[in-house]
Structure 1
Amino acid sequence: MTLSKNRQKPRHAHRRIAIAAAAVALGATAPAYAEEKDEAAERGKALPTVTVTSDAEESATGPVTGFVAKRGATATKTDTPLIETPQAISVITRDQIEAQGALTLREATNYTAGVVSSYFDSRVDSFSVRGGNAVQYLDGLQRTYGTYNSTKPDPYTLERVELLRGPSSVLYGQGGVGGVLNLVSKRPQAETQREVQLQYGSFNRKQIAADFTGSLDPESKWMYRLVTVNRDSGTQVDQVPDDRILIAPSLTWRPNADTSLTLQALYQKDKSGSLIGFFPWQGTLLPSLYGQIPTSTFTGEPGFDRFDSRNTSLGYLFSHRLNDTWTFRQNLRSTETKVDYFTSYTSFTANRATGRPARPVFNADARTIERDMSADINGGKMLLIDNQAEARFKTGAVEHTLLVGADFQRNTTSKLSGRGRAGALDIYAPVYGNYTPPTSFTRAPEVVQKQAGIYVQDQVKYGRWIGLLGLRHDKATTDTEGRPAAAADDKATTKRAGLVYLADGGWAPYLSYAESFLPLGGVDTSSNPFKPQRGKQWEAGVKWEPVGRRTSFMAAVYDLRDTNRKTTDPTNPLNSVQLGEVHVKGLELEYKGSIARDWDWIASYAYTDARVSRSNGSDLGKRISGVPKHTASAWVARRFSIGGVPGFTVGGGIRYLGESWDGMDGIRTPSATLVDAMLAWDNGPLRLSLNVANLADKVQITTCLARGDCFYGQRRTVTANATYRF
Structure 2
Amino acid sequence: MIRTTSRSKHRAALPAALAFLSFQTLAQGTNATLPEVRVDASSERESAVSPVIGYRAKNAATATKTDTPLAETPQSVTIVTRDQMVDQGAIGIQDALGYAAGVRSDAYGFDARTDSVRVRGSDVDVYLDGLRQAYGYYTSTTRTEPYTLERLEVLRGPAGMLFGSGTVGGIVNMVSKRPQIETQREIGVQIGSFGRKQIQADLTGALTADGEWSYRLVALQRKSDTQVDFVPDDRSLIAPSLTWRPSAATSLTLQALWQKDKSGSSSQFLPWEGTILPNPNGRLPVSRFIGEPGDHYDSERKSFGWLFEHKFDDTWTVRQNFRIARNQNDGRYHYGDAFSVPGGWVADPAGKRLLGRYLDSSLTQTTLAAIDNHVEGRFATGALQHTLLAGADFSRQRQDVARGFGVGAIDAYAPVYGNLEDVERTALPRTTQRNAGLYLQDQIKWGAWNFVAGLRHDRTTAGVDGGADQDDSATTKRLGAMYRLASGWSPYVSYAESFTPQAARLGRSFRPLRGEQWEAGVKYEPAGRALAFNAAVYDLREKNRINVPQPNVYDQLGQTKTRGLELEARGSLGRDLDVIAHYTYTDLDRQIEGLPKNQASVWGKYRFAIAGVTGFSAGAGVRWMGSFRDTSNDAIGPRIPGVALLDLVLAYETAKWRYALNVNNATDKDYFSTCLSRGDCWFGSRRNVVASATYRF
TM-score by length of 1: 0.89
Equivalent runs, 1:701-712 vs 2, <5 Å:
701-712=672-683
1:105 counterpart (83, 93, 96): 93
- Confirm or deny: 8 A CA contact 2:345 2:354 kept in the other structure: no
In 1, the alpha carbon distance for the partners of 2:363 and 2:18 equals 31
- Confirm or deny: 8 A CA contact 1:653 1:677 kept in the other structure: yes
- Give the equivalent residue in structure 2 for 1:540: 520
In 2, the alpha carbon distance for the partners of 1:659 and 1:587 equals 17
- The more displaced of 701-710 and 400-409 is 701-710
Equivalent runs, 1:7-156 vs 2, <5 Å:
50-51=38-39, 53-54=41-42, 56-116=44-104, 117-119=106-108, 120-147=110-137, 148-156=139-147
- Deviation, 1:5, is 5.0
- Deviation, 1:367, is 1.9
Residue type of the alignment partner of 2:432: V
In 1, the alpha carbon distance for the partners of 2:440 and 2:140 equals 33
Q: Deviations over 1:349-389 (max 9, x none)?
A: 74xxxxx6796556232222121112000111100000010
- The more displaced of 558-567 and 339-348 is 339-348
Q: Secondary structure of 1:668's match?
A: coil
- Deviation, 1:667, is 2.4
Equivalent runs, 1:512-531 vs 2, <5 Å:
512-522=494-504, 527=508, 529-531=509-511
Query: Given the superposition, is the C-alpha separation of residues 493 and 359 from structure 1 closer, same or farther in structure 2, using an over 3 Å criterion?
Result: farther
Residue type of the alignment partner of 2:355: I
1:669 matched to 2:640? The reply is: yes
Residue type of the alignment partner of 1:383: A
1:285 counterpart (276, 282, 286): 276
1:222 matched to 2:213? The reply is: yes
- Give the equivalent residue in structure 2 for 1:182: 173
1:638 matched to 2:613? The reply is: no
Q: Deviations over 1:255-299 (max 9, x none)?
A: 111000000000000000011110000111101112211000111
Q: Deviations over 1:399-430 (max 9, x none)?
A: 000000000000111110122344x3222222
- Confirm or deny: 8 A CA contact 1:411 1:448 kept in the other structure: yes
TM-score by length of 2: 0.92
Residue type of the alignment partner of 2:602: A
In 1, the alpha carbon distance for the partners of 2:303 and 2:398 equals 15
1:579 counterpart (535, 547, 557): 557
1:328 matched to 2:294? The reply is: no
- Deviation, 1:666, is 4.0
1:602 matched to 2:580? The reply is: yes
In 1, the alpha carbon distance for the partners of 2:112 and 2:389 equals 39
1:262 matched to 2:253? The reply is: yes
1:159 matched to 2:150? The reply is: yes
- Confirm or deny: 8 A CA contact 1:4 1:156 kept in the other structure: no
Residue segments in structure 1 that go unaligned for 5+ positions in a row: 7-46, 351-355, 612-621
Residue segments in structure 2 that go unaligned for 5+ positions in a row: 1-14, 21-34
- Confirm or deny: 8 A CA contact 2:115 2:143 kept in the other structure: yes
- Confirm or deny: 8 A CA contact 2:214 2:244 kept in the other structure: yes
- Give the equivalent residue in structure 2 for 1:691: 662
Query: Given the superposition, is the C-alpha separation of residues 4 and 144 from structure 1 closer, same or farther in structure 2, using an over 3 Å criterion?
Result: farther
Q: Secondary structure of 2:487's match?
A: helix
- Deviation, 1:323, is 1.9
- Deviation, 1:437, is 1.9
- Give the equivalent residue in structure 2 for 1:382: 368
Q: Secondary structure of 1:87's match?
A: coil
Equivalent runs, 1:164-313 vs 2, <5 Å:
164-303=155-294, 305-313=295-303
Q: Secondary structure of 2:379's match?
A: strand
Q: Secondary structure of 1:239's match?
A: coil
1:679 matched to 2:665? The reply is: no
- Give the equivalent residue in structure 1 for 2:422: 437
Percent identical among aligned pairs is: 51
Residue type of the alignment partner of 1:694: N
Query: Given the superposition, is the C-alpha separation of residues 579 and 4 from structure 1 closer, same or farther in structure 2, using an over 3 Å criterion?
Result: farther
Q: Secondary structure of 2:551's match?
A: strand
- Confirm or deny: 8 A CA contact 1:471 1:493 kept in the other structure: yes
- Deviation, 1:657, is 1.2
- Confirm or deny: 8 A CA contact 1:348 1:573 kept in the other structure: no
Residue type of the alignment partner of 2:473: K
Residue type of the alignment partner of 1:437: D
Residue type of the alignment partner of 2:318: F
Residue type of the alignment partner of 1:716: R
- Give the equivalent residue in structure 1 for 2:12: none
1:409 matched to 2:409? The reply is: no
1:396 matched to 2:382? The reply is: yes
Q: Deviations over 1:639-676 (max 9, x none)?
A: 00001110111110001112222223442222111111
Query: Given the superposition, is the C-alpha separation of residues 227 and 394 from structure 1 closer, same or farther in structure 2, using an over 3 Å criterion?
Result: same
Residue type of the alignment partner of 2:363: I
In 2, the alpha carbon distance for the partners of 1:274 and 1:597 equals 44
- Give the equivalent residue in structure 1 for 2:446: 462
Residue type of the alignment partner of 2:624: Y
- Deviation, 1:698, is 0.7
Query: Given the superposition, is the C-alpha separation of residues 357 and 317 from structure 1 closer, same or farther in structure 2, using an over 3 Å criterion?
Result: closer
In 2, the alpha carbon distance for the partners of 1:108 and 1:349 equals 32
Query: Given the superposition, is the C-alpha separation of residues 384 and 669 from structure 1 closer, same or farther in structure 2, using an over 3 Å criterion?
Result: same
- Give the equivalent residue in structure 1 for 2:23: none
The count of corresponding residues between Structure 1 and Structure 2 is 662
Q: Secondary structure of 2:588's match?
A: strand
1:593 matched to 2:581? The reply is: no
- Deviation, 1:127, is 1.1
Q: Deviations over 1:73-93 (max 9, x none)?
A: 111000110000000000000
- Confirm or deny: 8 A CA contact 1:52 1:65 kept in the other structure: no
Residue type of the alignment partner of 1:447: T
Q: Secondary structure of 2:56's match?
A: coil
What is the alpha-carbon root mean square deviation over aligned residues?
1.7
In 2, the alpha carbon distance for the partners of 1:456 and 1:232 equals 47
In 2, the alpha carbon distance for the partners of 1:263 and 1:237 equals 39
Q: Deviations over 1:57-113 (max 9, x none)?
A: 211001001000000111100011000000000000000001001000000000001
- Deviation, 1:4, is 4.3
- Deviation, 1:175, is 1.7
